[in-house]
Each structure stands twice: as C-alpha cells, then as structure tokens.
Structure 1
Amino acid sequence: MLTENGRGIAFGGDYNPDQWSEETWDDDVRLMKKAGVNTVALAIFSWDRIQPQENRWDFGWLDRIIDKLGKAGIATDLASATATAPLWLYEKHPEVLPCDKFGHPVNAGSRQSWSPTSPVFKEYALTLCRKLAERYGANPYVTAWHMGNEYGWNNRNDYSDNALNAFRLWCERKYGTIGALNQAWGTTFWGQEMNSFDEVLIPRFMGADSMVNPGQKLDFERFGNDMLLDFYKAERDAITEICPDKPFTTNFMVSTDQCCMDYADWANEVNFVSNDHYFHEGGEMHLDELACSDALMDSFALGKPWYVMEHSTSAVQWKPLNMRKRKGETVRDSLAHVAMGADAINFFQWRASAFGAESFHSAMVPHAGEDTKLFRQVCELGETLQTLADAGVQGSELERSDTAILFSAESEWATRSQTLPSMKLNHWHDVRDWYRAFLDAGTRADIMPLKYDWSDYKTVVLPTVLMLSAVDTWRLADFAAAGGRVVVGYATGLIDENFHTWLGGYPGAGNGLLRDMLGIRGEEFNILGSGVEGEPEAIRLGAGGEVALEDAAALNGATTRLWQNDVTVTGDRTQVLAMYAGEEADEWELDGMAAVTRNPYGAGEAYFVGCDLDVADLTKLIRTYLAAPAQSQQSQANTDVLHTVRKSADAAFDFYLPRGKKEVELQGVEGEPVVLFQTERGEENGSYTVRRNGVLVVRR
C-alpha cells in the first residue's frame, strides 16, 4: 500500500485539509515528513466539498492535495465520503433521515444522519462512489479505499418507514412463512400473532415501562447489522466495478465499551480489517483493555496483520471527563497495538481542528503547534515504527495461545434485553475480565468469535455466552469429547438463537446436552445486589468436598455479588471444586451447594463456573485449574508484564510492556534489542529495566 516493494508500517491519520486554507497544506506536508508519516485517510467527511450542489462537482482541491501528498511520498487512503451528506440533499429529500424509536427524525448536522435502507440516499451515495472511482481509480497515489466511516455510529438502529419496509422483507427472506416467524418470536405470548409479513413491526416506543418481545428485538439488531453491511457492500461494489485493483477497508469500532456490529461477518467483506480504538481511563485496566480489544481484532484478521485506523495521541473530547495521556503513553499504546498484530498506526487526526464538535480532540499536531511535547512524541513514534519495519516486524503474525475466550456479538446484544433475570449482565465486559485474569495468572488467552473455527485450541471459555444454538452446543460437546477443555460461565447457554429459553433445567442449551457435559442441573437463579436493607449483598465460597488438598484454598473465600445458580450435581464423576458457604449463603438456602464444578466428558472435561467472580478470584481459578503451558520460548512468568510474540518465517519478535505503574526488571531475555523505549539495558546479558509506559522489543 505504501511503497513499490510493499514494505513499511503504515503511519499517519485522518487528514482534513478542507478545514484549512491551502497556505497551511505545505506546512502540513513538511511536518508529516518530519514525523515520518507515510499515509493519510482523506475526504472522510468531504462530500459537501466534492459536490457543493446537486449538479456541481469540485474535485480540484482534492486533486491538488492528493498530488502534493503523493509527491512527498505520502499515500492516500481515499474515503467514499458518504459518512456525512451535504445539507442540500437533506433539504431536497428529508425522507432519507433515520428516525429514533419515538418516530422523531434524526436530523442532519452530525454524522450518519441517513437511513441505510433509503433508496434515495443510496442512489446519491453510489453516484458519488462512482465519480470518485472514475477520477482516482488509476491515481498511483491513492493506494486504498476507505469505505464510509464507523458505520452505525449514529444510525445503528433506524426506526423510519424505510427501515420498517426493509425489515419486513428481511424477515420474509429469513423465515419464508409467517408461521415460521410467529414460532421464532413466540408471538402467542401477549397476543402478537401475525397473519402476514405486512403486519410485522419494528420495536418502536411502546410505553415507558413496556418490555419488547426479545425475539423481535434480537432480529431487529441482526437486521440493523445486515442493512449497514449491505450498504457498505453496495458502496464497495460500485467502486470495484470501475477500480477493481485496490484494497478496501472500513473502520470497525472494537473496544470493550462498544462492539456494535457483528464484525465477524464484516471481516469477510474487507481486504484488510481496520479498527478505531480509544483508550479508557481505567488506571491499571488501560493496557489490558487495549490488548483485549486487539485480541478480538487479531481473530477478525484471521491471524494476519491488521490496521489501526484511529486512536488518540492524548485526550478526546466526547466523554464527561477527558483525561490526557501520561508521559510515554502515546508511543506505548501505539507499540502495544503493534505487539498485538497491527501493521498500521493511525490517529484521529493529523492537525487539531480550530472549530467544530471535535476541536478539543487531541491530534498529531496540537493547537500549540510543532514545538510541543506531544508532537515530539509523534516524531519519536514515527522513528520507532520505521525501526520496527526495518527489523522485519511488518507481515509477522501474533503467536496464538492455547486458550480461546469465545465472543458472540449476538450474546452481547441479548444481554441488553430488559427481560432477563438481571439487567447487569454484560457479555463483552465478562470477556474482558476473563482476559485480564489470564494475564494476571501469567498467561495470555486469545479472543475468538463463537462462529469461527476454534477447534485447534486446547481450552475454550464461554463468559456469559447467553445464547447458544443446538449446533454450537454440539460443537462444544465434540470439542470436549475429542480431548478439549470447556469452561462454561454462570449465565451461558440459557437461550437459543430465537431467544427461546432452553427447558429442562439450566443451562439447557442443546436440549440438555450442555447440562450433560457439565454434570449439573440448575433450577433457579439467585440474584443479588438489590440494595434492600437486611438482604445480603455478597456470598462467600468455600472449598469443595472433592478438591485435592493442595487446591483447597484456591477459591476458599472467593466472593460472588450478582448471580448464583441453584444447582444439583447429577454426574457420577462430577467434582465440586467450590461451594457456597457461610451465613449469607444459608440466608439464600445455598449453603453447601456446588458453585464451581468439573466433569469429565469423553476424552476432555467441562467446568461450570456457576456464579460471577471478580478478576482476582478468576485469576485464582485459572492458576489452579486452567493454567496453560508456556506459549513461547520465553514464558510470561512476570505477571506485571504483557508479553507477546510476533513471528515471521525467519524471526520472532518479543514485545514486553509493563501493565502497571511500576518499572519492571527483566532477566534472561533472549535476542537482540530492537526498541528500548523508556527502557535501560542492564549490565548482565538479557537484563533490562523497563520503566512505566516503556516498551522493550527484541528480535530472535
């Protein structure tokens, strides 16, 4: 994408030259070369500049900036520019606006103020795509296409009449007959049976305290994902017909506070996967959350290198409190993405805006200009990325773990339903907690979409995978029977793909197959955290009756605060590893009841973690029962360090990043140092001191 031989780690960001006078452009190019920038994403929000009136097109300014950048050795990732439409289009065709669930138009003035199911909007958008392809398809400086921008940011759930009509057609394609749809949605409950697809509704506002049919709501989530994916594909295909030889991408939004699309489907439709990731002011969670999000991105990329399309040099401006990054975090976060498999590091945005909604969002060139600590960090980062590229990191792949934590977008959507025993379930956050616990236990897990192939792993973990189909349950059973280890979380396998509750006892997935695997049967859920005076807020765990003496202390004293399963052990060989104990357990009639179990199944085994546990207690469980063998020649023995390995045909690159605020001492590190960022080499061979927010990279 960047050079004639295809080498080099991409480095740059969103560039908005149309916000600045052309006198600024030469200075931008000078500073980009100083920083080592080699690519920019261009024209993301520029439709109104490209087509200022319906019958007038202006490509002159775009021609000039692409040419200026290209001659300076800076490639353009050219956007389809459809993220925002010009105001004249909204004035002429207000019917393209999406609607909220109250029926109010989502008015223009922000981003994505358009309905993806509007045929009128699609016609205008595809005309723009074709115009761009005709003009820039053969331009050597345009090396990739950036379709849309963060699809679904403002129109993920559209309740317009356009959406209603499209949803009815979507349902008809999926179910074929209205009888099948009635069965799937369980419409005999609350008298919702439909006679034809013309009676299908979208879940608009039904009253302040009304509960939406969960099957209907789940399908509406699927529909919204599919409609935006269809829109993306229509844009991509319009350009491909004219310009078939340049790669396409669009920026996902994967972090553990958002993952709004089923990106496992989207990843199949791009040439390279890209992500926008913004850090969380979570103290010690900052780096762990980044690595967790990146682990999922690595799976979407099928283990191949992927692209950071956006992150921030420092503070953003869209949170209630916007903390800046500390010394070294701009570089450290970027190198952490590389450590997790990224071959491109880009920011929003190049130059901080002087006006508009994101004027106080940090940028590569801040308001104070080039003579700033922040811009010097950007330049240091550019040099470091060049060093890594020269060493051969580009194209190397992240070494896989023996353990996969399974992620399901549909289970994440399902946990947001207001019809569950608790409104506090969060599948994605539970994935993150398990991920952090594995790091705290001295190992690292991958995160794999449930719908992908995870059969090569030794252990799979299902945290709050609320929804399991019969097919996926059989996949788990076959995996365990062949010698794998399955770890089932407390709210896993309760409903099928239509949001029907599996019957016969919990967890009932696969018509009881999951229960058979686990050797337990649940009758009720015990939900805590009511805040009612006199009611227990937590329940303690004690050692199980069949735990080896050396393991007895593993979960003794662990605490559950949200959800406990009232279960009976049914398997002849099922071991109780921990049970509920103490006064609070007795208050809820759980004293002595199994909380964590292990059951042999075929050549493998299945664990049931029947209650919520915090990261510290999950860490104890992992260390005692699930610890995987060393993943590389250099085991991540130091739990204060995130250690990853990227491998190519002729080398391995070890990345070491302190997870906390203290510096760490490393001993016995093999290989030649490539990057020592905020790191000192010791007197002894293989010894290093890595300071807070530092990074060590060695090549073996």
Structure 2
Amino acid sequence: MAARRPFQWPALLTRDGRGIAYGGDYNPDQWPESMVDEDIRLMREAHVNTVALAIFSWDKIEPQEGEFTFDWLDAVISKLGEAGIAVDLASATASAPMWLYVKHPEVLPQDKYGHTVNAGSRQSWQPTSPVFKEYALTLCRKLAEHYKNNPYVTAWHMGNEYGWNNRYDYSDNALNAFRSWCEAKYGSIEQLNEAWGTAFWSQHVNDFDEVLLPRHMGGDAMVNPAQQLDYERFGNDMLLDFYKAERDAIAEICPDKPFTTNFMVSTDQCTMDYAKWADEVDFVSNDHYFHEGESHVDELLCSDALMDSLALGKPWYVMEHSTSSVQWKPLNARKRHGELMRDALAHVAMGADAINFFQWRQSASGAEAFHSAMLPHAGEDSKIFRGVCELGEALHTLSEAGLQGTELQHADTAILFSAESEWATRSQTLPSMKLNHWHDVRDWYRGLLDAGHRADVVPLAYDWNNYQTIILPTVLILSDHDAQRIANFVQAGGTVVIGYATGIIDEHFRVGLGGYPGAGQGLLREMLGIRSEEFNILGDEAEGEPNAMTLTNGCTSKLWQNDVTSIAANTTVIASYAGAEAFDWELDAVPAVTSHPYGSGTAIYVGCDLDRQGIALLAESLGIEVDDSRVVHTIRRAVDGTRFDCYLNRDRQPVSMINIDGEPVIAYRCTNGSTRGEYVLHRNSILITKRVE
C-alpha cells in the first residue's frame, strides 16, 4: 500500500469539537436570501450541526471571468457558524459556469464516437485540459485565501463525485495524456507491446506517438482488452491527479483543515479505484443511495463494509444519501416508515461518524427537483421532516453517549474486492458477458448473512493477513505477486475460497497457460489441487439446451461451470455435478467444489456460480461460525474499553432476542421482552447498547 495522508476528522462547532456530524448539502443560492434564516431555524430544530456548502456555486462566486463575489457566501457562513453549524466548504469546481464554456469550448470532453459532450450538466470538462485546470485552480486559491482563517469552515470538500460525467474522455488532450501515462508506466514501447499483446490483429506500435485511445472502431469491433484496461486505469489516475491538484492548491494556503471528496460506492457502482483515492484524503467520505427491493439493507451493509476497509477502520463520512426516493432511476422507490432512521443508523453501526443527505431543502426546479431532501416540498409539517428531526435527536443521543470516534470491530472473514477486476468483467471478450465482480462480492456477502455470518469487504491491494478466511469471487485479475500473497496466506494457516472465474488473467489481461486458473504461473492450481480445461457456459439464449446444473450437495449453477479434469491425490471433493443436465454436458461426477490442504491452511475451490442459497449452504463446508441470520450484529469499540453493540433486524418479521448485555442507548422500533436483556426487534428496527468491558 502507498503512503497515506494522516487521518484527520473535521471538527464540529461544539464545545469540544466532537459529535456525530449531521446535515447535508446546502444550496442557498437556489433560493431567495430571505430564506436562510428560516433554513437555520429548521436546521437547529433538526439537530443539524454541519452542511456541505457551495458545491455547485462557481457561477455565483465568479459570475464573470475574474470577478469574484464572496459577500453572499460570507453572510451564509456567518449565520450558520453563529448557529453552531460547521461548514464543509466545496471547491465549487464540479460544474463550471456557462461563460467559461462559451469562451473555451475546447474544455468540453468527447465521447468515444468523437461527439462533444455539451455543457449543461455536471462535470462537462476534460480532466486533462490545461485551460480548465487553470480556471479551476484559480478558483481554489481564491476560496482558500478568503476562508483560510474562517473558524466556521472546518473542512474542505473537493469537487463532487469525480468521474460522474467525465470518467471517459476521448479528446485530443486525453490522447496526449494517455500516451504520456503509458510511457511513464512501461518505460519502453517494447514493454507496452508485450503487455498489450499487440502481435494479435497487427496492433504493434513503433513508438508512443502511435498509441491510440480505445475509441469506437465499428459496429461489433472488440477493443484490445489490455488496452481498454489501461485506459480504465488512466481515467482513474487523471481524475485523481485533478483532485490532488485542487487539494494542493488550497493546502498551500490553508493547510490546517482536513480534505475529502465524496466517493460513489454502492454495489451498482464503484466508479474509481477508491483503494488509491483513499490514500489521498484526510477522511474517507461516500455517497450511498439505497437499492430498491428486498436487497435494500443488505446492499447498504455490503457497501459500508468496503467503506470501512477503505477508511482502514477509522470513522468515515456519509456525505450523501436520501431521505426517501431519488429521481434518476427507472424505478424511484420511496422509503417505508422507519427506513430513514434505520438506514442512517445502519451506516453508524458500520463505522460512519457522519450522516448527511442530499440535500437540505428539496429543489423547486432543475434536474433534481424530485430528489427527496431533508426539508421536502411539503415543508416542515411532513413525515419526512419529522423523521429528520427524530434522526437528529437519535444521533445527538449517540454523540452524548460517546459513540463518535469508536471503531468498528472487524469480522474474521474478508471478501476481497478489486476495482480492476470489476473493470475487466465489463470486457466484451470474455467467455461470458454476464460476469460482474462487484455483484458477486455482494452475493457472497448476502449469502454469508443468510448463514448468519457477517464478513468484511477488503480491497485486494490492502493487507488481509489478519483474517481467518478470505474469499475471492470473480477476481478475474491476479498478478503473480497477488497469487503469491494468497499462497503465503494459506501456507501460514489461513483458509481461502477461490471462485470459478478468479485468477483467469493477469494484470495485462494475459491468460495463464497450462489450465485454469492460470494465475501465478500455475501457483493457484498447485494451491487448489485442481486443474480445469474448459468453461461450460449456460444461458437461456441457447434454446433447447439445459440452462442450469445441479450439484450433489443440493446447490444449483446457472451461468458457468469449470470442467475440472484432474485433481491432486489429497484434494477432497465437497460436491460434484449430477443429474440429467450434467450428463448431457458431459460433466456428470466432475468436481464442482473441492478442498485442498496447502501448508498449514486450506484452499477451497468453487468451480461454478452459486446463488445466495448455495453460498449459505456452502458456509458450513467453509468452517465458518454462523449465528441468527435474521439479525446483523456489529460492535464499535473505544480505546477505554467501552463498546457499543448494534443489532439490526434484516427480516420483515419481528425477531426476539435474549441475553442482550448493556444499557440501551437507541431502541428504535424495539420493544422490551418479559425479562431483562430481552428485546423484540420489529421490521426496520435497530438496537444499540453500551457497556464497559
């Protein structure tokens, strides 16, 4: 892991600067100035103690080139600060003013078809444009100079959701930057040709000036997957460089306040390689929006598990989530009664010390007018605002109890996540185009929850040696170095679970030879004690063919089965393929799940896709200790021995729990049982207790 900036948490304007941060994006420039006092009155009623300010306010701060106006912002910040509300001040560069685009249309990005991405939305700018960067850094320096000594500004919020609209830019500036990036990465053109496998399809390049971006090449043309993977890495790095340039421009003038930017981690998106980004912030922040349907709370917990790992166990910041529905999905489901509180406290249970929403006051116009907010269109006499006030009171209670600053106790199982493997599964050149690494992480997380076991989600690049078990679901890419790390972990006594599409290619999208999985020059096969020769891919598209495969342990596979043709003498077969479908595909009695001793540990191979039920069923074979699957239990600990136990009902039916130690701090939608330490957790409930060990 790279060197990381020291952890620094933004202070509140409380007596000791401590407490759980609560608030949201505040956009007073959308409203008449007269409404600020009313906003602050209602914020105080709701226990709001922080806001993110000026995220999209560039045109209000610099209405004409070189004309900076801070009077309106000064007045808002002063009123907020005097009311005890801290300000997380944005660099305001997420959306440029229209005058800049009119004067410099060359800053607009291009899509892969060569079309200009027009202004009018967010992030309509090239990360590699020197013109845009100069304007943006000028704004950063002006803000830093003006607010460096303002006591109410306690943190800097850089940009906003970097990569939301300009993750992929195919402009000439991007082309030149990509060529320089490739030269810095590979050093010589020979190394690049080797890494990209340019001998295929006559793609050899003689120097870096011949390197191209993977622009559109025809109706069904397939991009060189190694080139595409490097382009994904490049796009991540260019935006990270832009963030660092903004941060450093402010830090040169105002170095004593912490910096962050909001990640976008949910299991429907993980836009950047946030394992890299986390090194460059002073505290980790995330924007999380719930997934509609029955996966709602499980998906939240899975995303938060990754966030806690990115924060290295330190408290982290929910910069945005929603009080109810959003407006940008095909189905914009609202939250049921209790889910506003439950979701927020679930984030806290998973390590968050800041709960913020987009946004404070629901917009009356614009693209996000129907995105829910803390103060909805219906006003203060509304269910949502009453829920916001109720949540503020609960967070204040937890702050008074001393929860802020405690850290989440880790699980003993880690599911490993790799942004590069997620990018790779999007390739159109794989045996199946239905792979999705991040979704497989989520399915394993949920399957383990169904078995009553909570896991952590940890980036592959991080240190996971202290876990008892590591799971690698569809981690397509494994370098020789990472394959050796895994082997060392198992040799030292750990248990590893290798998924069916893990270790198929290396970091250059090169297939390992000698059989599957080929990672580590065959080291993975040696560790697993198996060898597969071919993939059996199923799907409804093949009319008249079987679209599922049963296993002898009762599990079902519907996508991918590896044809394991040899196993080591000391490999144990846990389950094989069986039934008419297996016979039809000549997989009858072929090993599907195996276990192999390696050093002092155990390597388990899951040679096919499994659904949640199959994963839960397999948990016993993994030697994982299981508990009540209906309740998720997390622990947050303080250095003085104080612990907060958090119990979350993930079932729709009430759950009775007995022998709960500690004094209740929050018992939301819970009722007491007949004896001390007995509780009934109703739907959307959460119980948080405190005790000293």
Shorter-chain TM band: over 0.9
Residue equivalent to 1:550:
none
Mapping 1:355-374, distance limit 5 Å: 355-374=365-384
**Amino acid of the residue matched to residue 614 of structure 2?**
D
Query: Does 1:620 pair with 2:617?
Result: yes
- Aligned partners of 1:350 and 1:77: how far apart in 2? 14
Conserved? CA contact 1:441–1:627, under 8 Å: no
TM-score (norm 1): 0.96
C-alpha distance in 2, partners of 1:464/1:625? Answer: 18
Choose from 626, 649, 671 the match for 1:658.
649
2:312: which partner in 1?
A: 302
Asked if the contact 1:185/1:216 (under 8 Å) is kept, the reply is yes
Identity %: 70
Structure 1 CA distance, aligned partners of 2:311 and 2:387? Answer: 29
Matches for 1:263-662 after TM superposition, within 5 Å: 263-283=274-294, 285-542=295-552, 556-628=553-625, 637-649=627-639, 650-662=641-653
State which drifts further: 113-122 or 653-662: 653-662
3-state SS in 1 of match to 2:570: coil
> 1:61-100 alignment to 2 at 5 Å?
61-100=72-111
Q: Shift in Å at residue 55 of structure 1?
A: 2.5
C-alpha separation between the residues in 1 aligned to 2:416 and 2:546? Answer: 32
What residue ranges of structure 2 are gaps of 5+ in the alignment? 1-10
Q: Give the partner amino acid of 2:629.
A: T
Tell me if the contact between 1:565 and 1:610 (Cα under 8 Å) persists in the aligned partners. yes
Deviations, residues 483-533 of structure 1 (Å, cap 9, x unaligned): 011100000000000000011100010000000000110100000004322
Counterparts of 2:370 and 2:100, CA distance in 1: 29
Structure 1 unmatched ranges of 5 or more: 543-555, 629-635
Amino acid of the residue matched to residue 605 of structure 2? F
Residue 586 of structure 1 aligns to a residue whose secondary structure is helix
Please say which of residues 231-240 and 677-686 is displaced more in the overlay.
Answer: 677-686
Secondary structure of the residue aligned to 1:617 is helix
Give, as a single letter, the amino acid of the residue that structure 1 aligns with 2:594. T
State the match for 2:8 in structure 1.
Answer: none
Give the 5 Å matches for 1:117-136: 117-136=128-147
2 CA distance for matches of 1:515 and 1:623?
A: 24
Work out the CA distance in 2 between the residues paired with 1:83 and 1:662.
44
Other structure's SS at 1:411 match: helix
Give the distance between the partners of 1:247 and 1:282, measured in 2 at CA: 37
TM-superposed deviation, 1:30: 0.1
SS at match of 1:231: helix
Contact 1:569 1:594 in 2 (8 A): no
AA aligned to 1:122 is: K
Which deviations, in whole Å up to 9, do the C-alpha atoms of 1:447-491 show, x marking residues without a partner?
110000111111100000000000000000111001011100000
Q: Distance in 1 between matches of 2:628 and 2:250?
A: 49
Deviations 1:29-54 (A, max 9, x none): 00000000000000000000000000
Work out the CA distance in 1 between the residues paired with 2:424 and 2:302: 21
Partner of 1:633: none
Q: CA deviation at 1:570?
A: 2.7
How far does the alpha carbon of each residue in 1:415-442 deviate from its partner, in whole angstroms, 9 at most, with x for none?
0000000000000000001111111111
- Give per-residue Cα distances to partners, 1:10-29, cap 9 Å, x unaligned: 00000000000011110000
Matched position secondary structure for 2:200: coil
Note the alpha carbon deviations across 1:536-562, whole angstroms, 9 max, x for none: 0101101xxxxxxxxxxxxx2211000
d(CA) in 2 for partners of 1:357 and 1:651?
Answer: 46
Give 1:568 deviation, angstroms.
Answer: 2.2
Deviations 1:569-604 (A, max 9, x none): 331200000000011001110001000000000000
The equivalent of 1:672 in structure 2 is 663
* Counterpart pick for 2:52 among 36, 41, 45: 41
**Scaled by the length of structure 2, what TM-score is found?**
0.97
Say which SS state the counterpart of residue 269 (structure 2) adopts.
coil
Q: Distance in 2 between matches of 1:667 and 1:55?
A: 66
Structural RMSD (CA)? 0.8
Looking at structure 2, the residues matched to 176 and 48 of structure 1 have their Cα atoms a distance apart, in angstroms, of 42
Aligned pair partner of 2:248 in 212, 237, 260 = 237
**CA–CA distance in structure 1, aligned partners of residues 549 and 567 of structure 2:** 23
SS of aligned partner of 2:686: strand
The aligned residue for residue 547 of structure 1 is none
Q: Deviations over 1:81-133 (max 9, x none)?
A: 00000001001111100110001111100000000000000000000000000
Deviations 1:66-85 (A, max 9, x none): 00100000000000000000
Deviation at 1:684, TM superposition (A): 0.2
In structure 1, distance between residues paired with 2:148 and 2:671: 48
Number of aligned residue pairs? 679
Residue 4 of structure 1: how far off its partner (Å):
4.4
User: 1:346 is matched by which residue type in structure 2?
Assistant: N
Q: For residues 136 and 661 of structure 2, what CA distance do their matches in structure 1 show? A: 54
